[in-house]
Amino acid sequence: MIERVEQPALEVEGLTVTYGREPALWNADLRLGQGALAAVVGPNGAGKSTLLKAALGVVPRVSGRVRVLGVDPARKRRLVAYVPQRSSVDWDFPTSVLDVVTMGTYGRLGWFRRPGRSERAAAMQALEQMEMADLAGRQIAELSGGQQQRVFLARALVQDAEVYFMDEPFAGVDAVTEQSIASLMGRLAQHGKTILSVHHDLATVPRYFEHAVLLNRAVQAVGTVKEVFHRSNLDRLYGGRVPADVPELASV
Amino acid sequence: MSWPWVALDPTLIVVAAGTSAVGAVSGALGCFAYLRRQGLVGDVVSHSALLGVVGAFVLTHAVTGSASRSLAVLVPGALLAGTAALMLARSVSIRTRLKDDASLGVMLSIFFGGGLFLLRWVQRQSPPIPGHTGLEDYIFGMAAAMTRADLWMILALGGCATVALLLLWKELKVFTFDPDFSRSLGFPARLLDSLTMALLVMGVVIGIQTVGVILMIALLVTPAAAARQWTSRLSTMVLLAATFGAGAGAGGALMSASEAGLPTGPVVVLLATATFVVSLLLAPRRGVIARAQSRRAMRDLPPPAAGRTS
């Protein structure tokens, strides 16, 4: 009888990226099981966004290997979804909320095929999940920061992937949006989806995430928040500058 | 002069059709340059094209013994020079600490200066190279010189660009809006980038005969900027920019034909600019007047209730 081996949802081995001569990411190793809800934390310039982009193939890697459920995501794009930083696009682009969310279906449509009724229906459904359905026809230039973030999350939901890469989904959103993003992440994880999310606010890591990836060019620690999100680890990660008021750390 | 003269003059019909096709194609393609903030790239391509045009003229003369000023000869030269300037600028930006706009500016000067230099050299040849007298028209544009063959060339290239735009609409849209996301979907960025560049170069090159290399940038960016004022849908914007461009092109051709001595290129550009100014002022929501009105309306609103301020 063949023993069933637990397949890691995301497996990153020896991932190295350089910008010019500077290494941005150095030999990063990382393994997350299905349903893991992981925060990537680390100081500025630690390569957090680069880790996501390199895993997705958005920036070229010098070396390394990425597997999603054992498959190279470059061969099967449908396994991954991406929420880029909100500030990375021009929100004055002439398009509507529904249109942006529909872009989440472009990958499975492939070259040349245009989105049709079923793609727009899927986009509407994702907007409903983000409580944005009433804004479907709105110009994206008229959205608030929190609404922009929900649009990006809805677009990732439409991708219906296995691993979700999110770059600072909580950046600059109000408390209500923060809550709805957190609960969306929780629901995705409950359905066995894996989330790797760059996160800046150390104080909320234990509240919103179960796993943490401590990154500074190289991965310094990966594990559950309980295991690795310690003051000693964080002080080392940030070079001893972690403010003392980060709650839920002292207990360890 | 009364209206029917237009119908009676087949040369003018060719010219008007050609300039409006040029305006439509460059207006439509200019939208993507506008949205990607690559107006300068278009300017580099058009200025560099002068070197390509004069170079192609000299080369055909040297090889075949008879120089040609038909677009079928000059367009490949312009394509080559424009692409070379862009590729050189890019490799300079990658290999040095020079910023993109600086390296683009340097390439523009080198190629345009080289083009002017070569042009003067051609003009000073003795015995004179037959046909060289029309070459300087590429600087400021000369639509009246357009032949039927040129018109076909413009329509063929414009048709190719339109087909590419229609086929790859979705890919170009997501790539223009969010290049990282489009890459994560598996659409190769380098290919789409090269494609948008190729379309931009095509839009520039078919227009330089009409508008001239110096003013070509106006025909790319102005209709797009005007169209953006009226709509927040990419497809509407592209169609509107094409319409504005076509209108300016046809209007410029007719006006410069009716009034002797009016140069086509500048008239086309001024017409496009007029459309832009009107759009800037009058467009609903984004227009200057509409915005001033909505600001005034905001000021007249009662202050927010005390409980909601913090």
Phi/psi of residue A129, nearest 5 degrees:
-60, -30
Q: How far apart are CA B196 and CA B245, in angstroms?
A: 19
Q: How far apart are CA B182 and CA B193, in angstroms?
A: 11
A153, part of any domain: no
Q: How far apart are CA B259 and CA B144, in angstroms?
A: 12
Closest by Cβ to B35, choosing from A53, A77, A93: A93
Q: pTM value?
A: 0.91
Mutation for testing the A interface, residue in B95, B96, B180 having most A CBs under 10 Å: B180
Closest by Cβ to B180, choosing from A53, A80, A141: A53
Residues 6+ apart with CB under 8 A from A202: A41, A234, A242, A246
Per the CB < 8 Å rule, is B170 touching A80?
A: no
CA-to-CA dists, residue B188 to A19, A60, A101, B20, B164, angstroms = 19, 12, 20, 34, 16
Q: How far apart are CA A10 and CA A6, in angstroms?
A: 12
Task: Give B130→chain A minimum CA distance, Å.
Answer: 48
Q: A55 near A39, Cβ under 8 Å?
A: no
What SS3 state is found at B109?
helix
Residues of chain B with pLDDT under 70: 1-8, 303-310
E-only strand ranges, chain A:
10-19, 22-32, 37-41, 63-68, 80-83, 163-167, 194-198, 211-216, 218-224
The pLDDT score that the predictor gives to residue B3 is 55
Amino acid B166 reads L
Query: What ipTM is given for this predicted complex?
Result: 0.94
A64, part of any domain: yes
Mutation for testing the B interface, residue in A66, A68, A82 having most B CBs under 10 Å: A82
The pLDDT score that the predictor gives to residue A101 is 98
Within an 8 Å CB–CB cutoff, is residue B46 touching chain A?
A: no
All residues of chain A having their beta carbon less than 8 Å from the beta carbon of residue B234 are 93-95
A129, part of any domain: no
Per the CB < 8 Å rule, is B182 touching A106?
A: yes
Please give the mean pLDDT across all residues of chain A. 92
Closest by Cβ to B184, choosing from A80, A90, A100: A80
Does residue A239 carry a pLDDT above 90? Answer: no
- Preceding omega of B127 cis (within 30 degrees of 0): yes
Task: Give A209→chain B minimum CA distance, Å.
Answer: 24
Alpha carbon dihedral A199, A202, A208, A213, in 10-degree steps, equals 60
Q: Which helix (H) or strand (E) holds B83?
A: helix B71-95
Stretch A84-91: mean pLDDT: 96
The pLDDT score that the predictor gives to residue B67 is 75
pLDDT: is A203 or B298 the higher one? A203
A16, part of any domain: yes
A174, part of any domain: yes
The pLDDT score that the predictor gives to residue B309 is 42
Instruction: Assign A18 a pLDDT band (cuts: 50, 70, 90).
Output: very high
Look up residue B250 and give its two tokens.
């046809």
Of B218, B233, B256, the residue nearest B15 (C-alpha): B256
Does residue A5 carry a pLDDT above 60? Answer: no
Within an 8 Å CB–CB cutoff, is residue B291 touching chain A?
A: no
Stretch A203-220: mean pLDDT: 94
The full DSSP string for B85-102 is: HHHHHHHHHHHSS--HHH
SS (HEC) of B236-255? HHHHHHHHHHHHHHHHHHHH
Per the CB < 8 Å rule, is B181 touching A103?
A: yes
Q: Which helix (H) or strand (E) holds A185?
A: helix A175-190
pLDDT: is B22 or A252 the higher one? B22
The pLDDT score that the predictor gives to residue A252 is 44
CA within 13 Å, CB half, A203: 5
CA within 13 Å, CB half, A252: 15
pLDDT: is A33 or B259 the higher one? A33
- H helices of A59-174, in order, are 97-102, 106-109, 117-129, 145-159
Number of domains in chain A: 1
Within an 8 Å CB–CB cutoff, is residue A112 touching chain B?
A: yes
Stretch A26-55: mean pLDDT: 95
Task: Using the structure block, give the residue that is written with the tokens 């070459």.
Answer: B135
All residues of chain B having their beta carbon less than 8 Å from the beta carbon of residue A109 are 170
Q: B202 near B127, Cβ under 8 Å?
A: no
Within an 8 Å CB–CB cutoff, is residue B231 touching chain A?
A: yes
Per the CB < 8 Å rule, is A82 touching B181?
A: yes
H helix and E strand count, chain A: 9, 9
Task: Give A56→chain B minimum CA distance, Å.
Answer: 6
Residue A209 backbone zone (phi > 0: left; psi -120 to 50: alpha; other: beta): beta
The pLDDT score that the predictor gives to residue B178 is 97
Please report, for the domain that includes residue A224, its CATH number. 3.40.50.300
Residues within 8 A of A (CB atoms), B 161-190 only: 167-171, 173-174, 176-178, 180-187
Other Cβ atoms less than 10 A from the Cβ of A178: the count is 17
Closest by Cβ to B186, choosing from A53, A93, A107: A107
Instruction: Look up the CATH number of domain B5-214.
Output: 1.10.3470.10
A101, part of any domain: no
Is the dihedral angle over the CA atoms B287, B289, B290, B296 positive or is it negative? positive
Amino acid A179 reads Q
All residues of chain B having their beta carbon less than 8 Å from the beta carbon of residue A113 are 170
Task: Using the structure block, give the residue that is written with the tokens 């449509």.
Answer: A109
Q: How far is CA A123 from the centre of its chain?
A: 19
Q: A158 near A132, Cβ under 8 Å?
A: no
Q: B226 near B276, Cβ under 8 Å?
A: yes
Render pLDDT for B202-211 as a digit per residue (tens, 0 to 9): 899 888 888 9
A144, part of any domain: no
CA-nearest residue of chain A to B174? A103
Per the CB < 8 Å rule, is B174 touching A82?
A: no
The pLDDT score that the predictor gives to residue B4 is 53
Within an 8 Å CB–CB cutoff, is residue A90 touching chain B?
A: yes
Per the CB < 8 Å rule, is B180 touching A84?
A: yes
Structural domain of residue A42, as residue ranges? 10-91+161-238
The pLDDT score that the predictor gives to residue B310 is 39
CA-nearest residue of chain B to A50? B180
